Amino acid sequence: MVDASILPISFPMEPTAKKTSNQSTGVTTGTNSPIQNILQSFVHRASTVVFGKEREIQLALACLLARGHLLVEDVPGVGKTTLVKTLAKLLDLPLTRVQFTNDMLPGDLIGGRIFDARTGQFSVIRGPLFSPFVLADELNRATPKTQSACLQAMEERQISIDGETFKLPEPFFVIATQNPRQQIGTYPLPESQLDRFLMRIGLGYPDRLSEKRLLQDGISAGGPADRIEELEPVFDVESLSYHQKAVEQVHLSDALVEYIQAIASKTRESATTGEGLSPRGALALARASRAWAYIQGRNMTLPEDVQAVAVSVLSHRLNPPEDPSGETGRRKAEDVLAQVKAV
């Protein structure tokens, strides 16, 4: 059952506590509204396990609420897998972790048909991609053939096995981690695979205070594993679906649509950005912006919402294949934002 106290009753949002209105824009914002309370609780609880990464947690939540998939790229040991396990616990979704290796086959992901000698019939064995929450750990350690097995599932939310199509569960969320491409034993993800991820984030090294907390926590019994186990879920499947639908009702004005178009056009006209942002990439930016506005407690998307998520949405789409670090794509995204005037 869904706790009605944590769900928006209608849109535009009508907070039960303080409400302010910007007369020039018509934007309504709420302070301590039921929506903000539950979303802030999500970020706060996640921060008790993943120290000092509040912004990255908010980006991951925005990606989920926008019905997207997330790519987490960074060096080993900075907490990528811990972040994913924390999200799964707070979402109350069963997590299926797939450790990718270079000898993995597509059938290991999607499943297949096997012959049952007792019945004399073939039966379908479903692979790990049929889980509602999939951690594709070190995705770029698998060969391109195996990586491509994720394409149909991530884009169409269905899987074909021997000519028969199976719908995937709702919600369906894939978080993939990958190691820097300059490391030994990695296979770069092709552009078509990268485009399936709504966002890409990096955790980076912790700040000094967060690392001190991490070191102190790490020498105690259990460490992060115990803290994850102690977390209380914030969402269930029904409430998560409700919030995802609410995000789709966040207003995106014509002026904001033109701002997103201007950003996409700027990436295409500059020779330094390669092929530029595709229409699907521009749509991803719009979806992520609405989700970010929702997390901030607003019923209308503002330019700062676009700017807050733009680098995470654009960087992996603008990064050239010859740059394994991904920094070129990040710089290009930042340059485009600086050049395009906000509405």
CATH number of 249-343: 1.10.8.80
| pLDDT score recorded for residue 221 | 59
Q: Which CATH class is domain 32-248?
A: alpha beta
> What is the rounded distance in angstroms from the CA atom of residue 178 to the CA atom of residue 174?
13
Count of other CB atoms within 10 angstroms of residue 26: 12
| pLDDT score recorded for residue 9 | 32
- The whole-model pTM stands at 0.84
Question: Does this chain's domain 32-248 share its CATH topology with 249-343?
Answer: no
At 305, list the tokens: 């919402």
Residue 22 sits at φ, ψ, to 5 deg, of: -90, 110
Q: What is the DSSP string of 65-107?
A: HTT--EEEE--TTSSHHHHHHHHHHHHT--EEEEE--TT--TH
Identify whether the C-beta of residue 226 lies closer than 8 Å to the C-beta of residue 86: no
179 pLDDT above the threshold of 80: no
pLDDT band, very low/low/confident/very high, at 19 (cuts 50, 70, 90):
very low
> What is the rounded distance in angstroms from the CA atom of residue 264 to the CA atom of residue 40?
31
Between the alpha carbon of residue 216 and those of residues 57, 222, 228, 231, the distances in Å are: 22, 12, 17, 20
Most confident of 32-41, 121-130, 307-316: 307-316
Lowest mean pLDDT among 16-20, 209-213, 258-262: 16-20
Closest to 57 in 3D by CA, of 82, 35, 30: 82
| pLDDT score recorded for residue 220 | 67
> What is the rounded distance in angstroms from the CA atom of residue 316 to the CA atom of residue 69?
13
pLDDT band, very low/low/confident/very high, at 21 (cuts 50, 70, 90):
very low
228 pLDDT above the threshold of 80: yes
Lowest mean pLDDT among 58-62, 174-178, 252-256, 324-328: 324-328
What are the residue ranges spanned by the domains of the chain? 32-248, 249-343
| pLDDT score recorded for residue 187 | 82
230 pLDDT above the threshold of 70: yes
Kind plus residue range of the DSSP H or E element containing 178: strand 173-178
Label each residue of 192-226 as H, E or C: HHHCCCCEEECCCCCCHHHHHHHHHHHCCCCCHHH
> What is the rounded distance in angstroms from the CA atom of residue 175 to the CA atom of residue 289?
19
The fraction of the chain above a pLDDT of 70, given in percent, is 86
27 pLDDT above the threshold of 80: no
Average predicted confidence (pLDDT) for the chain = 84
CA 180 from centroid of its chain's CA atoms:
19
24 pLDDT above the threshold of 70: no
| pLDDT score recorded for residue 191 | 80
Mean pLDDT to the nearest integer, 260-272:
84
Mean pLDDT to the nearest integer, 57-71:
95
Identify whether the C-beta of residue 109 lies closer than 8 Å to the C-beta of residue 160: no
> What is the rounded distance in angstroms from the CA atom of residue 270 to the CA atom of residue 326?
18
